[in-house]
Structure 1
Amino acid sequence: MLETTQSFTSLVLRNVKPALASPTLSTILSPWFQNPHFATPTRASDLALSLDLSENNLSGGGGTLLADLISRSPRLRRDVLKLNQCSLHDDSLDAIVAAVAQCDSLSALHLEDNDGSPPPKSIFFSSPAVLRHAPGDAFVKLLTKQVQLKELYLSNSHPQSRYPLALLRAVVHSLGTTNSTLEVLDISGNGGGDDVAKCVAAVLPKTSCLRALFWDGNHTTLAGFRLVQEALRRNQSLRIMPVPVQDTRESIERNQATVETREGPTGVMSSMVFRDDAYDKADVMRRSWLQSGPADLRQSWSRGLDALSDVPPSSDNNYTSHSVDA
Structure 2
Amino acid sequence: MYSAKKCKEVLVPPSFKTFFSSTVALRHLNMANVRMPMEALKAMLLGLACNEILTEVWLDLSCNDLKTQGALVLESCLPGIRCLYSLDISENNFDQDLANIVAAVGKNQSIKRLSIGRNFTNMKTKHITRVMEAVVQLIQEKDSSLEYISLADSKLRGELCLVINALGSNQCLTSIDITGNYMGLNGAKTLAKALQINSKLKSILWDRNSTPAQGFQDIAYALEK
Instruction: State if a TM-score over 0.5 links the two structures.
Output: yes
**TM-score (ref. length: structure 1):** 0.58
Per-residue displacement from partner, 1:121-146 (whole Å, max 9, x unpaired)? xx7xxxxxxx6964411101110122
Counterparts of 1:209 and 1:232 in 2: how far apart (Å)? 12
2:168 counterpart of 1:173:
no
Indicate the structure whose relative CO is greater, using CA pairs within 8 Å and at least 6 residues apart: 2
1:151 aligned partner: 148
SS at match of 1:60: helix
SS at match of 1:213: strand
SS at match of 2:196: coil
SS at match of 1:181: coil
2:69 aligned partner: 61
2:178 aligned partner: 187
Counterparts of 2:179 and 2:106 in 1: how far apart (Å)? 23
2:50 aligned partner: 34
Counterparts of 2:149 and 2:43 in 1: how far apart (Å)? 28
SS at match of 2:86: strand
SS at match of 1:152: strand
Structure 1's 116 and 182: CA in aligned 2 closer, same or farther, altered over 3 A? farther
Identity score, percent: 27
Out of 126, 134, 137, the position equivalent to 1:138 is 134
2:124 counterpart of 1:105:
no
2:14 aligned partner: none
1:259 aligned partner: none
CA apart distance, 1:112? 2.7
Number of aligned positions between the proteins: 206
2:89 aligned partner: 83
> Which 4+ residue blocks in structure 1 deviate beyond 6 angstroms?
none
Contact 1:67 1:99 in 2 (8 A): yes
CA apart distance, 1:85? 1.9
For structure 1, list consecutive stretches of 5 or more residues without a partner in the other structure.
39-46, 124-130, 235-326
Contact 2:120 2:128 in 1 (8 A): no
CA apart distance, 1:78? 2.0
For structure 2, list consecutive stretches of 5 or more residues without a partner in the other structure.
1-18
Counterparts of 1:135 and 1:22 in 2: how far apart (Å)? 23
Contact 2:90 2:115 in 1 (8 A): yes
2:2 counterpart of 1:6:
no
Structure 1's 65 and 32: CA in aligned 2 closer, same or farther, altered over 3 A? same
RMSD of equivalent CA atoms: 2.2
Contact 2:157 2:184 in 1 (8 A): no
SS at match of 1:143: helix
CA apart distance, 1:224? 1.5
1:210 aligned partner: 201
SS at match of 1:2: helix
- Letter of the aligned partner of 2:140 in structure 1? T
Structure 1's 11 and 144: CA in aligned 2 closer, same or farther, altered over 3 A? same
Counterparts of 1:119 and 1:34 in 2: how far apart (Å)? 37
Counterparts of 1:182 and 1:132 in 2: how far apart (Å)? 21
